[in-house]
Amino acid sequence: MADEAVAALTYPRHLVPDELTLPLGDDQQALLVNVGPGHTAHDLAVLVPGSPAVVFCGDLVEEPGEPQAGPDAVPAHWPAALDRLLSLGGEDALYVPGHGAVVDAGFVRAQRDALATRFGVS
């Protein structure tokens, strides 16, 4: 069964070196953003503009508890990736973590600071 799952994987056909606009229909767009390495070497986030804006963070942000770092994590760059998320959405955005409930900018900032302390980076 695992072999079938691996065979069914579709490899990326579009690199996202910085940002890519995604049409959602009805004049709505989302922005796919390469926020840099952090939880993995190639973390992407999705910004859906609006009032409030919504930022889909993936596992860069986890709630409750602190994010888990596997062998493919890049801890020295993780806080900078969270800074990029915060600059995308701003103070009033809703942030959708990879695990848990929707959070606000204060939660993301606190997690950023905790990761910086945990990994010894600023």
At residue 2, the 3 state secondary structure works out as helix
Reported as a pLDDT band with limits 50, 70 and 90, residue 119 is: confident
Res 68: pLDDT: 82
Res 5: pLDDT: 83
At residue 5, the 3 state secondary structure works out as helix
pLDDT by residue (tens digit) across 5-63?
888 888 777 778 899 999 988 889 999 999 999 999 989 999 999 999 999 999 999 99
Would you say how long the chain is, in residues? 122
Hey, how many other C-beta atoms are within 10 angstroms of the C-beta on 102? 12
pLDDT by residue (tens digit) across 93-109?
999 999 999 999 999 99
User: Strands, DSSP E only, in the chain?
Assistant: 19-25, 28-36, 43-48, 54-62, 94-99
- CA dist 116 and 122 (Å) reads 6
Residue 45: alpha-carbon gap to chain centroid: 4
